[in-house]
Amino acid sequence: MVEVGRPALVGLAREQMTTVNKEMTFEYPVEEWFTGEYAAIPPHMQDAIKRYVINRLRPGSFLSSVISNDLRGAVNYADADNLPLLPVYVKWFYNRAPWCSGNRQQLEDWLSSKA
């Protein structure tokens, strides 16, 4: 069983995000998004998450399923490296980027609200 818990106080949160000159800035430094248990997420997937959160670029099937809270899709599209890390991905989005994850509508809203 995955215990998600409350969003981390040092994590990203909607009220901590500001838009300055059409660039997003975050109170929690991007360089520290993948520390601790989140360092297990492979570098290429960290890059894909950053592209989604920062640049609002559509992620691949696996990450889209994770973001949309689609367990069946996430398991179906996961490769051998990412399947055992599924709980880590779920916790990352819950704790670090809850405003742009949780269901398919939130994913689509995030992608369509490009500044």
pLDDT, tens digit (0-9, with 9 covering 90-100), for 8-45: 333 454 444 544 334 566 667 888 999 999 999 999 99
1-5, 36-40, 41-45, 92-96: segment of lowest average pLDDT: 1-5
Closest residue by Cα to residue 6 from 106, 100, 98, 99: 98
Q: Where are the domains of the chain?
A: 33-112
Tens digit of each residue's pLDDT (9 = 90 or more) over 59-83: 999 999 999 999 999 999 999 999 9
Residue 96, Cβ density class (10 Å: 0-12 exposed, 13-18 middle, ≥19 buried): buried
